Homo-oligomer: A and B are copies of this chain.
Amino acid sequence: MASGFCSLALTVTTSLFSSHAITRRVLPILRWRSSSMSLSPLRHSRALSAATTVPISSSFTWDDVIETGRAEYNSSDLTGFFEKINRCNRGSEKLGEFIPFVIEEQIVGYIHKRFTEYLREFHDIFTFSQNGSCPDRVDGYVTLNLMLQKPEDRTRAVADVIKILGDKGIIPGIRNELYPVKPSFNAPVFFSLERAAAPYFGIKGYGVHMNGYVERDGQKLLWIGKRSLSKSTYPGMLDHLVAGGLPHGISCGGNLVKECEEEAGISRAIADRAIAVGAVSYLDIDQYCFKRDVLFCYDLELPEDFVPKNQDGEVESFKLIPVAQVASVIKKTSFFKANCSLVIIDFLFRHGFIRPESSGYLDLYQRLRNRDCS
């Protein structure tokens, strides 16, 4: 998925979006936030105590994981799960610091107002529109120069800018991998953008995440990966058996089969048995970065004797852990890469590890997906 770096300091200023016709398309998200807050019966996040969670750290070992998981799983207390969902949905109060990135009159992303300053010098590529009838709400939007009509021209022109910003360290962690830029999943692709730049332009990101599990003596166990310490993002943290961002030009199913082979040495014959089971989504603002990600979730029941073998060096090791223990680790630690927690919480819902009798059940379930899950 998109890079975890967002290294630039910034000063917070609040603002509202312009009432201009195009920028109005931003408002549904703001409305959703408001709606969600008003309708939620319980605001568990308020009750969270930092003391309930082990701090984020990649220096833990499998022994720490097993030790944490050993504590009895209390399915009725959902507090730790709410905390993990909140961790993926930060900064909603900072939405006003971003302005829309518009192509062909459709919003494809959001860019932090202060980050747009880095783009202004490239006036043959980026265009800034100022509009709105109220002077105090003129926020405008960013678009591409109208001369850039073809997707390949846009891709090339924006790549030149990203190269310069990457060299300056303004966009760190360049990966030389392209993500499609489009207003929603089924919409046409307007151009392609370097993966590391995606959150700086607030474009929608898509990924495939797979829970690989085994059923043994009526008990379900999940294969969990520990990311290589040499990974540039989330080194040493826990992960699914298989997960990956969805690059330009490949289907979810096709990408999953590819990732199954690369990440866990799962043959196509077995990978083809993976079942698409839904999606989770989140909106996360961290300084200049705005992630609007949708993760397509898959389940794969594996043979009892299957042992994953990482092929691409991105996973340090794997371990097979009873689902209830994984649930305890999610609740009590930040060992998992944050967005993996969401996909595992979704698994817990679908496999009966979270029950309607728990206070906050519906609220938690709803918060696995936001209204921008498109």
User: In this complex, what residue of B is CB-closest to A278?
Assistant: B349
Across the two chains, which residue of chain B brings its CB closest to A298? B352
A20 contacts B by Cβ under 8 Å: no
Q: What interface size band does chain A fall in?
A: 35 or more
Set B185, B350, B362: member contacting A294, Cβ < 8 A: B362
Say yes or no: B369 contacts A366, CB within 8 Å.
yes
- Select one of B28, B276, B349 contacting A352, CB under 8 A: B276
Name A174-191 residues within 8 Å CB distance of B.
183-187
Assuming A251-B357, A356-B296, A369-B366, is B38 touching A35 (CB within 8 A)? no
Q: How distant is A221 from chain B, measured CB to nearest CB, in Å?
A: 16
Q: Is the CB of B39 within 8 A of A374?
A: yes
B residues near A296, Cβ cutoff 8 Å: 356
Q: Identify A277's interface contact among B32, B186, B349, B359, CB under 8 A.
A: B349
| 18 A-B pairs (CB sep. < 8 Å) | A31-B31, A31-B32, A31-B35, A32-B39, A35-B371, A39-B372, A41-B186, A251-B356, A252-B355, A275-B352, A276-B349, A294-B362, A363-B374, A365-B369, A365-B373, A366-B369, A366-B374, A371-B371
Given contacts A28-B39, A35-B371, 13 further A-B pairs with CB under 8 A are A28-B35, A31-B31, A36-B371, A41-B185, A186-B361, A186-B362, A251-B356, A277-B352, A278-B349, A278-B365, A279-B362, A350-B350, A366-B373
